[in-house]
């Protein structure tokens, strides 16, 4: 579970509620598995007061993984993009090794199924060009390895010929699908989010992704 609070005092109150609930229901939180991360506004405070759970201080971390997505204290996405790059390399090498003798159509199907997921890529907004470029190169090389193509072959041509979305098309597809699901959801919380999208930096970034694609 995740607790969010704009202040340390508010977070302590939330933890107190959790402690009372756990005590009433015969449960106990594992302090060793509990972590605290601070999203600073500007430079933020120099010293952060400790937060306790069951009498023990909660460890302060600079990043942690939540539901598979890597979050950092500065809300940048470079670490999560590196996670996806490594996972892509592992999946590609496994497929290339196990299915080396399969037909071209089978390899294309496997690549689409296992190498185009880009988990939570629609949430990427704040990242360095290097992280973005490294992941794009990894995606292109993964397909070349899978299909046993030379490294110097054109990326756009090989994807078009195989009917596989290139890196840019894949991101646009994931973003558009996610955006549509948010706007169509009957969930009240998501309705609030979708109504506020026009003030959100995410929408600005998503639109920029589509505009930059049109300029290419």
Among 96, 162, 166, 95, smallest CA distance to 136 is for: 166
Q: Specify the 3-state DSSP secondary structure of 59.
A: strand
Is the pLDDT at 213 greater than 70, yes or no? no
For residues 71-86, average pLDDT: 94
User: Based on C-alpha coordinates, what's the Rg of the chain?
Assistant: 22
For residues 154-179, average pLDDT: 92
* C-alpha 109: how far from chain center: 24
pTM for the whole thing? 0.83
Is the pLDDT at 202 greater than 90, yes or no? no
Q: What tens digit of pLDDT does each residue of 22-77 get?
A: 999 999 889 999 999 998 777 666 788 889 998 899 999 999 999 999 999 888 99
Among 203, 202, 199, 207, smallest CA distance to 172 is for: 207
Alpha-carbon distances, residue 117 vs 28, 48, 129, 167, 171 (angstroms): 37, 38, 21, 11, 10
For residues 186-207, average pLDDT: 77
Residue 97 banded pLDDT, cuts 50, 70, 90: very high
Task: Determine the pLDDT at residue 184.
Answer: 87
Q: What tens digit of pLDDT does each residue of 103-159 get?
A: 999 999 999 999 998 999 998 989 999 999 999 999 999 999 999 999 889 999 999
Residue 197 banded pLDDT, cuts 50, 70, 90: low
Task: Determine the pLDDT at residue 14.
Answer: 95
Alpha-carbon distances, residue 135 vs 39, 113, 148, 158, 167 (angstroms): 26, 18, 19, 18, 9
- Asked if 191 and 185 count as a contact pair (C-beta separation under 8 A), the reply is yes
């Amino acid at each position: 579970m995740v607790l969010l609070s704009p202040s340390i005092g508010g977070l302590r109150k939330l933890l107190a509620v959790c402690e009372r609930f756990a005590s009433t229901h015969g449960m106990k939180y594992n302090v060793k598995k509990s972590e605290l991360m601070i999203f600073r506004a500007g430079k933020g405070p120099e010293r952060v007061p400790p937060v306790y759970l069951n009498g023990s201080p909660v460890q302060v971390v600079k990043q942690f993984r939540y539901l598979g997505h890597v979050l950092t204290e500065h809300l940048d996405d470079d670490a999560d993009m590196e996670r996806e790059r490594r996972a892509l390399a592992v999946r590609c090498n496994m497929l290339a090794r196990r299915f080396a003798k399969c037909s071209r159509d089978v390899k294309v199907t496997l690549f689409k199924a296992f190498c185009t997921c880009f988990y939570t890529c629609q949430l990427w907004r704040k990242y360095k060009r290097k992280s973005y470029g490294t992941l794009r190169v990894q995606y292109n090389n993964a397909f070349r390895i899978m299909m046993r193509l030379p490294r110097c072959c054109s990326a756009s041509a090989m994807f078009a010929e195989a009917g596989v979305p290139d890196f840019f098309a894949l991101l646009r597809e994931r973003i558009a699908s996610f955006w549509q699901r948010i706007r169509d959801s009957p969930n009240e919380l998501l309705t609030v989010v979708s109504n506020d999208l026009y003030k959100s930096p995410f929408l600005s970034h998503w639109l920029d992704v589509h505009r930059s694609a049109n300029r290419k």
